[in-house]
Structures are given as structure tokens and as C-alpha cells.
Structure 1
Amino acid sequence: MLARVKLEKGCKSRGIKLSGALAAAGLIAAHSTKDLSDHQREKYAVVTLIDCRSILDPVLSSDYMGFYHSAILNTHDVSGGENLWDLAKRCYTAYSNAKNNNKHFTDMGDLNFLMCKAIENPGLTPSSSLRTAFISVFEDPVTDDTNEMHGEVGVEDYVGCSSVHGVGPSVAIFDTIRDGRLDCACVYPSPLHSRDQMQKLIDDMKKILVDGCANGESES
């Protein structure tokens, strides 16, 4: 819980959301897996999913059943030695600017068209992998305070996520605040990526976030 509080505090002090930090940690971890010098830059795409229930007419409650998400796609150039918070700020600012320009609505048709074309022509994606982005994150985490209820019916643990066959990111992060702790479910395409490969990526992301919080505190 303390780590989550530090992470949220670091985000709040920089005017960003948790999604920016998660995306940045993923990009840094991905770049570190390649044998590149620090000055070599790699381009990565980040998809941020937005729950549109509150901005529909009529407004829908947050627990209204169904999929009411839109998405914004941003690309970022990442080099070695990136600072977590600097990159998180870049990621969130790019996303926020796009959202303020209503890109989650105006670009919806274009994104759907490109997704369909990628499915029809896998060769349009890197190595015909059908990967259209490196990572997807949600604008806001889900808050789940129902663990006591689950315990009463004998449920010890569970994850909430969804996935589709075909086109998508290399890793999707489903973040939930559960019992005051940050709980992330990570979904990836198999056998395109192996469990060992993704486990290392997630472990590196966790270390980057923890170190970033510690360094952020010492700088403040």
C-alpha cells in the first residue's frame, strides 16, 4: 500500500495520472531489453483507453454493464537512460493534449479502419505480428472494495480483464486499486511472446516504478 501511495503522490505532484507512469515504465523496460547504446532511440506506441460513460449523453454510471471505451494512440521516441518521471510526463501530456482535442472521438473511425486493415493484411504490422502498439493502459484504474463480499462466498483471488483475438498491443495493463493496493493484470499474446519474456518485462517495470518513487522522494 505504501508503494502505491508513493507512486500516486509522485504522479499528483507532476500533474499526471498513474497511466502515464505505467506507460513510461513499460517503455523504459522494453528499451532495456535490446542491446542498444543509450543514445539510440526506439519508437514505441502507447494506447490509452478511456471510459466514456461519464461523457455520454445520457451519462451512464461507472458500473453500467458493457464496453464503453475509446482509445488514443500516441508514439514516443525512447532512448537509454530515460528518467521515469520525465518520460511519464511526456506520455501523459501527449495523451492529455489529444484528449483535449477530442481525438478519442474524432479518430475513432480512422483507428477502427486501420485495425480492420491490419487484420486483413498482417504484413502491414511489424514482422506480421498484428501488434499495433507496444502497450495499452487505462486512463484511470478501477477501484474495487468488494473483497470482503468475495471472501464470504469463498473467492480468494481473481483478476478482471478482457482480450480479443487478432490485432492489439504486445502487453495490456489492467490496473485496479484493491484493498488500497495497486493490483495489475497483464495480458499478452501467446505464443508471440513467452511467459518468461513477459515476466522479465513486468519485473523490470516494477523495479523502475519502485526506484522512480524512491528517487523522486529524494529529489523533492
Structure 2
Amino acid sequence: MNHNLITDLGCKSRGIKLCAALAAAGLIAAYSSKKLPDHQREKYAVVTLIDCRSILDPVLSSYHIGFYHSAITNTHDISAEEQLWELANRCYTSFANAKNSNKHFSDMSDLNFLMCKAIENPTLTPSSSMRTALVSVFEDPIEDFSKIHQQLGIEDYVGCASAHGVGPSIAIFDTIRNGGLDCTCVYPSPLHSREQMQGLIDDMRRILVDACNQLGSES
């Protein structure tokens, strides 16, 4: 997928980030997979991960090893009439407002406490698995270190972190690689089947491609 269409024409022209478009595609795909009546609305949560290195004191570089992410959770009511860019605007506005209110810091202790309790007591959650959100995304694409890795002889790689029993239904690790949008999607198994998640991801891709094609025809 050509990232210029989605990031420049789609996101930057609207003052939003790529994470909002990815989240919106996930919400629309999840809703459509249920084949609900058109009048019925569903509530879904999105977790957006924020790299806090640049706002720490002292400031840390992106190369500093460690997990320095905080998170903001937003919920959205989804209907059958949702359009990608309108929903992406809503997703990003909700996230930006929460971030401007420092929710990624003020809610950190409460979220950590709840997640630790869920991990310590897995039987308290359905099927020993608590889903914190439908989808988690990164505020900014993961930096592409492919040139460095090629020098080391590494052809491809993937890195992610998970907590047993707690997390989203699908986590999206996105980067811009070789001029295209490259996403790695992680999901909990056997809670969700590969067939189920592949169908969701394929639908997300179709939604994004259709939206990009529409932008291309309008430009």
C-alpha cells in the first residue's frame, strides 16, 4: 500500500496521524464482521501507545533500549454508516484531547494496578483473558532500522511485547518500509483463531485500500 496516499492525502491533510486511520479501519472491520442490523451500534475501545522518551527529563533518544511507552484508551460508538476518514478524525480527536489533558500520565498507575491484578488472577476474567481493547496502535510508526539490520545480515524481524491474560484483541505494529505501509499484527491465541483474525485483517486492508483509491481518484 502506497503510504504517501494514506499519510499525506489521507492523514496529514486532515491534521491526523496514521494510527487513527489504522484504528478506524479496525473498528469498521470488527463491526461489519458481526453482520448486525444497520440500526444497532457497538462500543469498541482503542488503545494508543505513546513513546515517552522525548518528553522525559532527561530526554532519551529513540535508540535508548527499553519500554518507555504509556497508553491512552478511548471508546467509540460504531454504526453501519461509518466512513473511514470521518471515523479516523473522531479517533484522533479523542486521543489528542486525552493526551493534551495528560491522561497518559494521570491514568498510568490505575491502569498498571488493574493489569497486574488481572495477570495475578486470570480466573477472574472470562476465559482467563481480559481484553483491554479491540485494537492497539502506536501513535507514530515504529522507526525502520532495516538498513542497519541489513548491514548485520538480518533480512527481516518482528518485535512485540505481550502480557499473559491481558491485552487487545489485535495489536498493530506499523512502520514505513521501502515506500510502503508495513504492518505486523499480533493477536491472542487460542482466544481468537487465525482464520478469524486473518478475515479481520483482510477486511481492514480492503477498507484502507478503498479509501486510498478514492483519494487517488479525487486528487
Give me the TM-score of the superposition, normalised by structure 1: 0.91
**How much does 1:152 deviate?**
4.6
Contact 2:132 2:166 in 1 (8 A): yes
- 1:43 matched to 2:43? The reply is yes
One-letter code of the match for 1:156?
A: E
SS at match of 2:80: coil
**How much does 1:128 deviate?**
5.4
Q: 1:157 to 1:206 in 2, by over 3 A?
A: same
Please name the residue that 2:192 is paired with: 193
SS at match of 1:168: strand
Output the aligned Cα RMSD: 1.9
SS at match of 2:143: strand
Please name the residue that 1:94 is paired with: 94
Please name the residue that 1:107 is paired with: 107
SS at match of 1:30: helix
In structure 1, stretches of 5+ residues that fail to align are none
Please name the residue that 1:162 is paired with: 161
**How much does 1:60 deviate?**
0.3
Alignment of 1:45-60 (within 5 A): 45-60=45-60
Deviations 1:4-32 (A, max 9, x none): 11000110011100000000000000001
C-alpha distance in structure 2 between counterparts of 1:145 and 1:167, whole Å: 29
Contact 1:160 1:185 in 2 (8 A): no
Please name the residue that 1:208 is paired with: 207
One-letter code of the match for 1:76?
A: H
One-letter code of the match for 1:77?
A: D
Greater displacement, 161-170 / 25-34: 161-170
Q: Percent identity?
A: 73
Deviations 1:88-121 (A, max 9, x none): 0000000000000000001111111222343355
SS at match of 1:143: coil
Contact 2:122 2:165 in 1 (8 A): no
Q: 1:65 to 1:151 in 2, by over 3 A?
A: closer
**How much does 1:122 deviate?**
5.1
C-alpha distance in structure 1 between counterparts of 2:192 and 2:129, whole Å: 10
One-letter code of the match for 1:67?
A: F
**How much does 1:145 deviate?**
4.5
One-letter code of the match for 2:25?
A: A
Deviations 1:32-61 (A, max 9, x none): 110202221100000000000000000000
Q: 1:125 to 1:81 in 2, by over 3 A?
A: farther
Please name the residue that 2:79 is paired with: 79
C-alpha distance in structure 2 between counterparts of 1:157 and 1:53, whole Å: 25
Greater displacement, 62-71 / 207-216: 207-216
Deviations 1:158-198 (A, max 9, x none): 22322222211000001111222211111100000111111
C-alpha distance in structure 1 between counterparts of 2:195 and 2:126, whole Å: 21
Greater displacement, 198-207 / 120-129: 120-129
Contact 1:119 1:130 in 2 (8 A): no
C-alpha distance in structure 1 between counterparts of 2:108 and 2:139, whole Å: 16
C-alpha distance in structure 1 between counterparts of 2:96 and 2:182, whole Å: 24
Please name the residue that 2:179 is paired with: 180
How many residues end up aligned between the 2 structures? 218
